[in-house]
Structure 1
Amino acid sequence: MMLKKIIFIISSIILVLSCEDSNNQNCELYENRGNLISYELISEFTEGAFKILIEDYYGFDASQFNIQNSVKVYKVIYESLGADGKPTQLSGAIYVPQLDKNQSLPILKTSHYTITKREAVASVSPNVSPQSILGSMQGYFSIYADGIGYGESKTQASYVNKQASAIAGVDLLRASKEFACENDIQLNEQIFTTGYSAGGYGTMAFHQVIDEEYSDEFTITANAPLAGPYALDQMAKRIFGDNIYSQPYYLGFALWGYALATGDNEALNRWVNPNYRNPILTMYNGEYSGEQINNALNDTMSVLLDSQFLSDFLGDGELDFKQYLKDNSFVYGDWKPNAPIHFMHGADDETVFHFLMKVGVDGLEANGSKNIQSTSYPGDHSSAAAACMINSIEWFNTMKQ
């Protein structure tokens, strides 16, 4: 009798362990790209902490927000591709709402604005992503990809490059599903995506690449691109034509990114005047801030850039560069997104020019998209950011399940 009892207990233990192994195996949804390698809790926000963060850090009025829940933030490391297209490990952050009742959550994917310092990302400091914070405190399962060259990744990828901008987010989306499975978090099928400035570019890249390459796996519910450069060639033409540009580090990043993406190592020698080549070649390594790079460059294009290059670009020359910019824009191909898109932009934006919003709308509508709208808010690139971010989440809330 005792022997039978022992056998029964051992069998029960084996059954439990096998079930646990089976559950863990079921959560390993991806073997390579998107495979979740590790995660750790890095921060937690209570309602009181949210109010302090909103008012003291972001400078918003906390009374405008419907704070519904506390949030735990996790740093995640997952498998993806690097700047060279080879397998690598990337990092990101997942903001998990702490709800009183068990319910399925929509995903909110946020693309980050222009950063040049490797540590200025959500996996290091979760408060760098206001939209992730604002969404997660209203019940969204928010995900933020640090991107190639940031956080755990040491090799920088091309700036405003469609594939480089999208891939880290696609694979984090996969890894977040493994994370949710391992932590018994239910996700519904909704995927909202947004981002400000370079994040506006990133959310468009993410949306287009999902539509064209991963539509059998994911479907975008809605997209709110905020103050992004949707037609890179037209933005460059405006910068060069105006001659004065207040954020030359954006431009230097784009020129450096072209050389990196195409292998045209002589491009900077042709385009950039000698005094400014070395800063562009050496300062986008994750160690310098945008302000430091600005101080090393020049806001006058005729001083920063070669006169022949400016003449050729504003005329009929530099065809390869112009084509690269068009290929990495969103208004020249045949992409016809079906998901609703709501562009938002500061009316007085002279950094990422306001006219680019209309270019984005017109380009997608010309391709036959029907669910496109746009809203302008008072302010420039800095002062309109809060209104764009707040209202993007409010718009998503009208569709949230």
Structure 2
Amino acid sequence: MILTFASKGYVVSAPDYAGYNVSKHLDHPYNIPSELANYSVDMLRATKELTKKLKIMTDSKLFLTGWSEGGGAALATHKAIEQKYSKEFNLIATSPLAGPYDLPSMFQSDTLDLEGDDLGENAGIYNWTLYSLLKFSNIDVPLEKVWNYEVKSSLDALSPPSSKLSEIINLPFLQEIIMNGDNEELSSVLEQLNLISGWTPKAKIMFHSGKNDDIVPHFNTLNAYNRFKMVGADVTLYEYNGDHYTPDLEYLTTTIKDFGKLSRQK
């Protein structure tokens, strides 16, 4: 995808988040919006400096896109730029696919009622998200009480010994502090993962989502689209009959087309 956008004449800034490459000794802040936005903004700054050093001529128009965690990162970066860096960047539009924009609803939905149900390949993804939430929130929740096995790192969370939620996690404890909101501090942190409340986007957003997505449920995109539409934002919704992966080509070609139209506007 990076090469595809580059082949269309875009200068592409693709951040290598903490936890990878030279920073592999760090925990990756999986699905933590503020962290991902900070990395993305820093990478955009570095990219601007590089284009100056290499004497590459560009215009000032900025477009953001991403898929899955990258979709959440794109919307988080959109929000950060408009709220904190609007004088630094000329943001035109964001086009994310299948991002976790409404994580509180995911945590507080029936996901935590699936005691005994097999989550299959999604178990590690959900487990990693939960680990990151606890790791980067600095709240006093003992990890040994959350999991039924030893979890000391992102890799431990991503590779659970079972795909059954009840065998991985101490569900009664987790339901008590998250679903019932007994831990006010955790509830507050969880709400900070919400990318759709408390602001009105100014630049255009084109949401993409597969209606049969069983990894990042489709309601994330629907909730985001409906919320932003209600507050008067310029939003478009592209829905596909596929799952988390199958809309990738349509999303890519549609995003290139939409960005192209916007880039030609004065």
The equivalent of 1:138 in structure 2 is 8
Instruction: Report the Cα distance in structure 2 between the residues aligned to 1:179 and 1:380, rounded to whole angstroms.
Output: 37
The equivalent of 1:38 in structure 2 is none
Compared CA separation, residues 355 and 159, structure 1 to 2 (3 A): same
Q: How many residues align?
A: 258
Q: Contact (CA 8 Å) 1:349, 1:380: kept in 2 or not? A: yes
Compared CA separation, residues 397 and 332, structure 1 to 2 (3 A): same
Q: Contact (CA 8 Å) 1:338, 1:369: kept in 2 or not? A: no
Amino acid at match of 1:341: I
TM-score by length of 1: 0.60
Q: Contact (CA 8 Å) 1:259, 1:267: kept in 2 or not? A: no
Q: Does 1:209 align with 2:84?
A: no
Measured against aligned partners, the alpha-carbon deviations of 1:66-112 in whole angstroms (never above 9, x if no partner) come to xxxxxxxxxxxxxxxxxxxxxxxxxxxxxxxxxxxxxxxxxxxxxxx
Amino acid at match of 1:233: P
Q: Contact (CA 8 Å) 1:210, 1:218: kept in 2 or not? A: yes
TM-score by length of 2: 0.89
- C-alpha deviation, 1:329, in angstroms: 1.5
Pairing partner for 1:369 from 232, 241, 245: 232
Work out which of the two has the higher radius of gyration on C-alpha atoms and give 1 or 2: 1
- 1:192 alignment partner, SS class: strand
The equivalent of 1:356 in structure 2 is 220
Unaligned runs of 5+ in 1: 1-129
- C-alpha deviation, 1:259, in angstroms: 2.6
Structure number with the higher strand fraction is 1
The equivalent of 2:138 in structure 1 is 263
Q: Contact (CA 8 Å) 1:249, 1:297: kept in 2 or not? A: no
Pairing partner for 1:166 from 25, 33, 37: 37
- C-alpha deviation, 1:213, in angstroms: 1.0
Amino acid at match of 1:398: K
Instruction: Report the Cα distance in structure 1 between the residues aligned to 2:131 and 2:175, rounded to whole angstroms.
Output: 20
Pairing partner for 1:156 from 11, 17, 27: 27
- C-alpha deviation, 1:219, in angstroms: 2.4
- 1:181 alignment partner, SS class: helix
Unaligned runs of 5+ in 2: none
- C-alpha deviation, 1:178, in angstroms: 1.3
Matches within 5 A, 1:186-335: 186-238=57-109, 239-243=111-115, 244=117, 245-246=119-120, 247-264=122-139, 266-273=141-148, 275=149, 278=150, 280-284=151-155, 293-294=158-159, 296-312=160-176, 313-333=178-198, 335=199
- C-alpha deviation, 1:310, in angstroms: 4.3
Question: Quick one: higher RCO (CA 8 Å, sep 6+), 1 or 2?
Answer: 2
- C-alpha deviation, 1:298, in angstroms: 2.6
Instruction: Report the Cα distance in structure 1 between the residues aligned to 2:173 and 2:105, rounded to whole angstroms.
Output: 16
Pairing partner for 1:392 from 237, 255, 259: 255
Single out whichever of 227-236 and 306-315 deviates more from structure 2.
306-315
Identity %: 24
Amino acid at match of 2:247: A
